[in-house]
């Protein structure tokens, strides 16, 4: 009897895209992020992708201190793989964005593979009653903001973290980002197996049509062959449908309240665990099995949770 394929579920617990006022369930404080991460791991997340936030107003916070308020507690209470952002927020310098991953030496860190327009301003039409002054300005500024990830920036992160043996979740928002990754692979600055996170549905990146997903896979297959593992991130309402489609095509999946506040039409997700549980039900309904954290480590050839600095 053939064995069921193991699917890695990444849960992005909280991030800089969605602002606290948009949902009362979005984790903001260190205690809330810890609880949300552990709940997602208990529900079946293999990898926990983590940002930090200002304890008072929920604005993005990329300081090492902010991360160290929750990283040790998460590590002590789950064996899930920890993935620290180097994306931070588009308003930060590349050096600011690097510091948590550089100093905490996680098994995995995210890495954005190209500069892009990152249009968040349409949210202003859907969420009119925002609590904090920074939220409206942050969204409004995205009309005229480029999320900067130059070749120099990407190389800076790769070379800075090289001695940490941290592997990367390569976040590819468009086809050009796959070609950028191929460039760094050719230069030997990244090594397989590559963990390619295809992001769909962000204004400024590739769309969320099934044909977009197919185009991304065809291109990645041609560029990387058997040297990569694929994962699907659908923003907003695209989260579950695109992940299900990708899983049927051999992909791993990413869910979480960084990428979507929803758990059904018009229904706010009450927790990250709720989204993980829903995704797990979809996968198991397709006769696929969710990878344990140790199985994810083996698949992605990670260094192990005892080799981090938190």
User: Has residue 270 been placed in a domain?
Assistant: yes
Residue 283 to residue 120: CA distance in whole angstroms = 30
DSSP type of residue 287: T
User: Has residue 205 been placed in a domain?
Assistant: yes
Number of domains in the chain: 1
Q: What is the pTM of this model?
A: 0.97
Predicted pLDDT at 245: 98
Mean predicted confidence (pLDDT) in 26-35: 98
Residue 53 to residue 59: CA distance in whole angstroms = 5
Q: In 3-state terms, what secondary structure has residue 260? A: coil
pLDDT tens profile 205-254: 999 999 999 999 999 999 999 999 999 999 999 999 999 999 999 999 99
Share of the chain above pLDDT 90, in %: 97
Q: Per-residue pLDDT for 10 more than 80?
A: yes
Predicted pLDDT at 16: 85
Q: Per-residue pLDDT for 155 more than 70?
A: yes
Asked if 62 and 88 count as a contact pair (C-beta separation under 8 A), the reply is: yes
Predicted pLDDT at 88: 96
DSSP type of residue 60: B
Q: Would you say the C-alpha torsion 60, 62, 63, 64 has a positive or negative sign?
A: positive
Residue 81, beta-bridge partner list: 47
Q: In 3-state terms, what secondary structure has residue 11? A: strand
- The band of 17, judged by pLDDT with boundaries at 50, 70 and 90, is confident
User: Has residue 52 been placed in a domain?
Assistant: yes
pLDDT tens profile 81-119: 999 999 999 999 999 999 999 999 999 999 999 999 999
Residue 173 to residue 204: CA distance in whole angstroms = 8
265 class by beta-carbon count within 10 Å (0-12 exposed, 13-18 middle, 19+ buried):
exposed
Locate 237 and state its tokens: 């309402």
Share of the chain above pLDDT 70, in %: 99
- Average pLDDT over the chain, rounded to whole? 97
User: Has residue 1 been placed in a domain?
Assistant: no
Locate 11 and state its tokens: 């849960």
* Domain extent for 167: 6-307
CATH number of the domain at 237, please: 3.20.20.70
* Region for 124 from its dihedrals, namely left if φ exceeds 0, alpha if ψ lies in -120 to 50, beta otherwise: alpha
Predicted pLDDT at 2: 60
User: Has residue 158 been placed in a domain?
Assistant: yes
């Amino acid at each position: 009897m053939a064995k069921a394929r193991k699917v890695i579920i990444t849960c992005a617990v909280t991030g800089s895209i969605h602002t606290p006022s948009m949902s009362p369930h979005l984790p903001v404080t260190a205690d809330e992020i810890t609880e949300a991460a552990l709940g997602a791991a208990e529900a079946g997340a293999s990898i926990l992708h983590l940002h930090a936030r200002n304890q008072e107003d929920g604005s993005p916070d990329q300081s090492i201190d902010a991360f160290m308020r929750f990283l040790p507690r998460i590590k002590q209470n789950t064996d899930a793989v920890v993935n620290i952002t180097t994306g931070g927020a588009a308003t930060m310098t590349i050096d600011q964005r690097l510091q948590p991953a550089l100093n905490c030496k996680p098994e995995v860190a995210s890495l954005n593979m190209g500069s892009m327009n990152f249009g968040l301003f349409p949210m202003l039409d859907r969420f009119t009653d925002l609590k904090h002054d920074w939220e409206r300005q942050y969204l409004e500024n995205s009309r005229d903001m480029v999320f900067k990830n130059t070749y120099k920036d990407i190389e800076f992160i790769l070379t800075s973290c090289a001695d940490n043996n941290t592997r990367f979740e390569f976040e590819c928002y468009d086809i050009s980002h796959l070609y950028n990754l191929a460039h760094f692979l050719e230069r030997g600055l990244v090594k397989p197996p590559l963990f390619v996170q295809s992001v769909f549905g962000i204004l400024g990146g590739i769309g969320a049509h099934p044909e977009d997903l197919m185009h991304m896979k065809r291109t990645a297959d041609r560029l990387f062959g058997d040297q990569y593992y694929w994962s699907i991130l659908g923003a907003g309402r695209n989260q579950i449908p695109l992940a299900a489609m990708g899983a049927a095509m051999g992909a791993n999946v990413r869910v979480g309240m960084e990428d979507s506040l929803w758990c059904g039409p018009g229904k706010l997700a009450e927790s990250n665990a709720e989204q993980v549980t829903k995704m797990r039900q979809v996968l198991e309904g397709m006769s696929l099995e969710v990878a344990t954290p140790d199985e994810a480590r083996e698949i992605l050839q990670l260094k192990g949770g005892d080799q981090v600095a938190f």
